[in-house]
Copies of this chain bind each other. A is one copy, B any other.
Amino acid sequence: MGYTMMKSVTITDVAKHAKVSKSTVSQYLNKRFDYMGEKTKERIELAIKELGYQPNIVARSLKQKSTSTIGVIVANILHAFSTQVIRAIEDYCHESDFHIIVCNADDNPEKEKKYIEMLLAKQVDGLIVFPTGDNVELYEKMVKDQFPIVFVDRTVDNVNVPAIVLDNEKASSLAVTHLAEKGYERIGIITSSIKRSISARLGRINGFRNSMNEQNLPINEDYIKSAEINEIQSILEKMLSLHVPPQAILAGNDRVLMEILKYAKANSIKIPNDLAIIGIDDVSFASIYSPALTVISQPAFEMGKQAATLILSSIQKKEVETLVYKFEPTLINRESC
């Protein structure tokens, strides 16, 4: 036996049942009681109870041109940071009775484009995007149309959208300084691919170079690598079998960190004795790992909350400053350096 739609109860049914017009029922639903008789109110309330009426949000959205929904497009859902931010956005939006639709662009600009178009067609009231960076025209069109949008994690050159990002230079500098203090000198950094230039990754590499200079440490280009996740193992192989290998490595994000740990385990490399490791992004198991992992943490919850706040303000037509909101990274000192 297949599914058959129950003939659902509409506002018209309620109106008939309560012997009033549907306008009046609508007023009731929207709590506009200014000039509503006591018995009328009661009759409507009763009718709603008796019929088990639930308003149709789609119909309301059509007329009101607002869906109380915001779209969230993350570049890659596999990063712990993404899920943390999403959770924060969700929590905060929920307080304002907004809902979110999450899409994963999978680091693919085509997919990102398709999702943006779909979400706009679905009439979301705003968009929070971890931009791949490769749909500049589309971003610009939304800016021109004054559609509410905020970026997270990354900025896009010449696109005038408020962005919530980590102070990436600072993050690297925190890591390098920490390692320098511990006496490490030959320090490397591995990030995810920068074939498509991605502001966060570039920022971390820049910060690394600057900070190495400040600490008067030598920069060895063989210690600075960016690659796809599935290439990290062979990158490590090469880097660690150099004549003079690095003593410490900064992992550009959680996925790189996990690859390094995998390599270390497979090759019985002792952390921190054989190799010190520090990661950007806190991971769920950082404190229970042996050794516990020293990490530069992003205030993901704060950043998600800020993104939500900005998008809601923008939707409510409040003034929103189009600037880069930089958040401070924190060093969580544990045992891997």
Chain A residues with a Cβ under 8 A of chain B: 1-6, 54-59, 61-62, 65, 67, 77, 83, 87, 90, 99-104, 117-118, 120-123, 145-148, 258, 261-262, 265, 283-285, 287-290, 292, 314-315, 317-320
Q: Which 9 A-B pairs have CB atoms at the shortest separation, nearest pair first?
A: A2-B317, A6-B145, A261-B288, A285-B285, A57-B121, A58-B123, A57-B122, A3-B146, A262-B288
In the complex the two chains form, what is the Cα distance from A123 to B99 in whole Å? Answer: 14
Q: What would 28 A/B residue contacts be, using CB atoms closer than 8 Å?
A: A2-B317, A2-B319, A2-B320, A3-B146, A3-B148, A3-B315, A4-B317, A5-B65, A5-B146, A6-B147, A54-B120, A56-B62, A56-B121, A56-B123, A57-B121, A57-B122, A58-B62, A58-B67, A62-B62, A90-B104, A99-B118, A100-B101, A258-B284, A261-B288, A265-B287, A265-B290, A284-B285, A285-B289
Q: A2 touching B258 by the CB < 8 A rule? A: no
Chain B residue nearest to A265 in the complex (CB): B288
Given A57-B123, A262-B287, A290-B265: A101 and B104 within 8 A (CB)? no
> Which secondary structure characterizes the binding site on chain A?
loop
Taking CB atoms, residues of chain B closer than 8 Å to A55 are: 121
Which of B2, B118, B317 lies in contact with A3, CB distance below 8 A? B317
Q: Supply 6 further A-B pairs (C-beta < 8 A) apart from A57-B121, A57-B122.
A: A3-B147, A6-B146, A54-B121, A77-B87, A265-B288, A289-B289
- Please measure, in the bound complex, the distance between the C-alpha atom of A120 and the C-alpha atom of B6, giving whole angstroms: 13
**Which of A3, A99, A147 is packed against the most chain B CB atoms within 10 Å?**
A3
- A99–B122 alpha-carbon span in the complex (Å): 10
- The complex places the Cα of A315 from the Cα of B61 at a distance, in Å, of 23
* A62 contact set on B, CB distance < 8 A: 56, 58-59, 62
Q: How far is the CA of A102 from the CA of B102 in the complex (A)?
A: 8
Question: Considering the chains assembled together, what is the distance between the CA atoms of A283 and B288 in angstroms?
Answer: 13
Instruction: Please indicate the chain B residues that have their CB under 8 angstroms from the CB of A6 in the complex.
Output: 145-147
CB-CB under 8 A from A120, the residues of chain B are: 54
The residue on B at minimum CB distance from A148 is: B3
Are the CB atoms of A4 and B146 closer together than 8 Å? yes
Please, which residue of chain B has its CB at the minimum distance from the CB of A97? B118
State the Cβ distance, A305 to closest chain B Cβ, in Å.
16
Q: Pick the contact of A58 from B61, B292, B314 — CB < 8 Å?
A: B61
Name which of A2, A100, A120 has the most chain B CB atoms within 10 A of its CB: A2
Question: In the bound complex, what is the Cα–Cα distance between A292 and B290 (angstroms)?
Answer: 11
Contacts of A258 in B (CB 8 A): 284-285, 288
For A4, what are the chain B residues with a Cβ–Cβ distance below 8 Å?
146, 317
Interfacial chain B residues near A289, Cβ < 8 Å: 285, 289-290
B102, B122, B284: which contacts A284 (Cβ < 8 A)?
B284
CB within 8 Å for A1 and B319 given contacts A54-B120, A62-B62, A287-B262: yes
Minimum CB–CB distance for A218 against chain B, Å: 30
